Amino acid sequence: MTAPRNVLIVEDEPDWCDIYARIAAREGARTVKIAKDLVRAAALVDEIQFAVAFIDIGLDVSKDHNIDGLRVMDKIRSVQDETSIIVVTGRSGTDVLQITRDSLMRYHAHFIAAKREITPGDITAALKTGLEAFEERNSLRTVPAHTALKGDLESVLWEDQMIEGTRVQKGAQGLREFLDRLVSEFLPLIPAKLGGAVTRDAATEVMHGAYWSRSIGAAVVICFADAARAESEIASARSGRRLLGKYDVGAALNEFSAHGVSGAVFALSEAPRSSFARA
């Protein structure tokens, strides 16, 4: 699985935001989001998993002792994201040493520099190594697709239900291989209800579930079944923008078939982040 190359910029100076955004775009960032204060930054962390975050310490020029940047770092670590934190600060007071220690020791900052000393080349290098570090750490911690979809149910029980419902070839191995290809690019997934699992629609026997994807920062609905049933429902949803009579959907973001099973991930229309459990 390729980790999402999403970049967060937490900075209240427009010129610095522009510098970071241009460098991130040049280095292939998929999504670049800008927050000028703690409230917006915290909301974005709930919505999206970021590979790299550029964070200034002080986010209120009217308050010399503002340290909201540290609170943003705390938010990132509280949701257990492996984001590479890059601290570029204009502070020069007596508290800089303690702030630097906190950034390194408590929040495991990837890179720290002063605005008066850093160059565009330094920023580019920090971004590149930050992306690489995130991808390495994230690959070790990413929850497999089948684990994300089973919720709080026991793995064996849930997989038995899915195997029976889909008639997937190669049993549990085939199911896991199929789900990895269908769903992995949308991980992490947040269900509507904490611990909620993909379930079977009684009328169509199609497996389905709605989630918030922190990889793309949007709501999605996942569906899959044996090839004949799934392809019929997917085709109907593509044309009528309605899936299983339950979900108003947009574009199909991914479709995949293997081991006798077909599935799709659709954008879920008009579903805000607040409709899903907390990260």
- Would you state the pLDDT for residue 48? 97
pLDDT at residue 107, as a whole number: 87
Here the tokens at position 243 are 């899936």
Place of tokens 């990895």: 180
Quick one: pLDDT at residue 3? 67
Q: Are 165 and 207 in contact (CB under 8 A)?
A: yes
pTM across the whole model: 0.90
Cβ atoms of residues 87 and 69 within 8 Å? yes
Q: CA-to-CA distance for 191 and 133, rounded, in angstroms?
A: 28
Strand 52-55 relative to strand 6-10: parallel, antiparallel, unpaired? Answer: parallel
Q: Which residues contact 149 (CB under 8 A, 6 or more apart)?
A: 158, 179, 183, 189, 197, 198, 209, 222
pLDDT score recorded for residue 138: 86
Q: What is the pLDDT of residue 101?
A: 77
3-state secondary structure the chain: CCCCCEEEEECCCHHHHHHHHHHHHHCCCCEEEEECCHHHHHHHHHHCCCCEEEECCCCCCCCCCCCHHHHHHHHHHHCCCCCEEEEEECCCCCCHHHHHHHHHHHCCCCEEEECCCCCHHHHHHHHHHHHHHHHHHHHHHCCCHHHHHHCCCCHHHHHHHHHHHHCCCCHHHHHHHHHHHHHHHHCCEEECCCCCCCEECCCCCCEEEEEEECCCCEEEEEEEEEHHHHHHHHHHHHHHCEECCCEEEEEEEEEEEECCEEEEEEEECCCCHHHCCCC
Dihedral, CA atoms, 16, 17, 23, 26, nearest 10 degrees?
A: -150
Question: Rounded CA gap, 78 and 279, in Å?
Answer: 9
Angle subtended at Cα 184 by Cα 181 and Cα 185, rounded to the nearest 5 degrees: 105
Instruction: Report whether 145 contacts 185 (CB < 8 A).
Output: no
Q: 58-89, pLDDT tens digit by residue?
A: 887 666 677 899 999 999 999 999 999 999 88
Instruction: With beta carbons less than 8 A apart as the criterion, state whether 216 and 229 touch.
Output: no
Nearest to 276 by CA among 47, 86, 90: 47
Query: What is the pLDDT at residue 143?
Result: 84
What is the predicted pLDDT for the residue at 91? 64
Residue ranges of the chain with pLDDT lower than 50? none
Q: What is the spatial distance between Cα 66 and Cα 52, in angstroms, rounded to a whole number?
A: 22
Residue-wise pLDDT tens digits, 157-202: 999 999 999 999 999 999 999 999 999 999 999 999 999 999 999 9
